Amino acid sequence: MKKILTIFVITVISQVFTLNTYAGSDDTVEIKSKVKEQSTEVKDCFETINRGIFAFNQGLDKIFFKPIAKGYRYLPKPIRSGTSNALSNLTNVVTIPNNILQGQLKEAGLNTLRFSINSTLGIAGIFDVASYYGLNKLEKEDYGQTLGTWGVKEGCYFVLPVLGPTTVRDTIGSIANFGGGDAWYNVTVANDTKYFEDSDYYYSRLTAGVDFRAKNLEAFNSLENNSIDLYASVRSLYLQDRKRKILNSDETTETMNDDDWEEIDTQ
């Protein structure tokens, strides 16, 4: 198993460093980098296969996630909020090390404080007591974002069964979680502690998925009903979202390439 994992990691890493040679080909999605102010392109390497997996995921969503998410919506709001808060609190154990790796020491301190307060006074994160004390929720960070801030390119865009859209860089980031980078995974699955079971981790991940889906029911419906190529829309949205998160910017003008708009004159 270890051997297979090693081969996979090496293959994926080698892709990251070779994929830039694809830049400039036709079948690409253009993304502009703020840092270098030049166009980079993300290649959809196995589009035919990706579209197949995407269709499979859509089917899975239709028969599994969507109905569960709809049912979840019927739960009283305090239960949904409490669940969402507790899951969000857990993500701090990945966000804090990534804050440090990205040099965001102030954010690391604030998130540590938030995590400590909410895990204790907030009863395992169910109540967001920290926000009550003025420590507002910050953006989540992950290892994929950290690699992005370090200048690692996206590599290929692809779609994973069940998990959905990703890039080579983001997949490497996710693998880091299982290699010791996620304290929640470490205390549930990786190490045999008497406090938690493996299932705690998997249930939390599943619930996070359902919670996310429930929050976005209308948005997903709207996207499905109004897209003429849903696969391409989801790909675009995923890449835009990752780019914005890596730039850690809310400024529309910093994340959008204005060149094309400047050319269009209708007045």
What residues make contact with other proteins under the rule CB under 8 A?
26-27, 29, 47, 73, 77, 215, 217-219, 221-222, 225-229, 231-233, 235-237, 240-241, 244, 250-253, 255-256, 258, 260-262, 264-267
In the bound state with other proteins, the residue whose beta carbon lies nearer, of 22 and 231, is 231
- Cα angle 239-242-246, degrees, rounded to a multiple of 5: 140
Q: How far is the CB of 85 from other proteins (least distance, A)?
A: 12
Q: How far is the CB of 213 from other proteins (least distance, A)?
A: 13
In the bound state with other proteins, the residue whose beta carbon lies nearer, of 10 and 79, is 79
In the bound state with other proteins, the residue whose beta carbon lies nearer, of 196 and 231, is 231
What are the beta bridge partners of residue 44? Answer: 157
In the bound state with other proteins, the residue whose beta carbon lies nearer, of 142 and 182, is 142
How many whole angstroms separate alpha carbon 209 and alpha carbon 207?
5
Task: Look at the block and give the residue holding tokens 């959905």.
Answer: 164
Q: Which of 116, 113, 85, 73 is nearest to 204 (CA)?
A: 85
In the bound state with other proteins, the residue whose beta carbon lies nearer, of 174 and 255, is 255
**Amino acid, res. 17:** F
In the bound state with other proteins, the residue whose beta carbon lies nearer, of 14 and 216, is 216
The answer to whether residues 210 and 72 touch, using CB atoms and an 8 Å cutoff, is: yes
How many whole angstroms separate alpha carbon 176 and alpha carbon 169?
11
Q: How far is the CB of 150 from other proteins (least distance, A)?
A: 21
Q: Which of 15, 4, 8, 16 is nearest to 147 (CA)?
A: 16
Q: How far is the CB of 2 from other proteins (least distance, A)?
A: 39
Q: How far is the CB of 137 from other proteins (least distance, A)?
A: 11
Q: How far is the CB of 22 from other proteins (least distance, A)?
A: 14
CA distance readout (Å), 244 to 218, 224, 240, 255: 23, 23, 6, 6
Q: How far is the CB of 193 from other proteins (least distance, A)?
A: 33
Q: Which of 238, 257, 264 is nearest to 42 (CA)?
A: 238
In the bound state with other proteins, the residue whose beta carbon lies nearer, of 37 and 250, is 250
Please give the DSSP secondary-structure letter assigned to residue 20. Answer: G
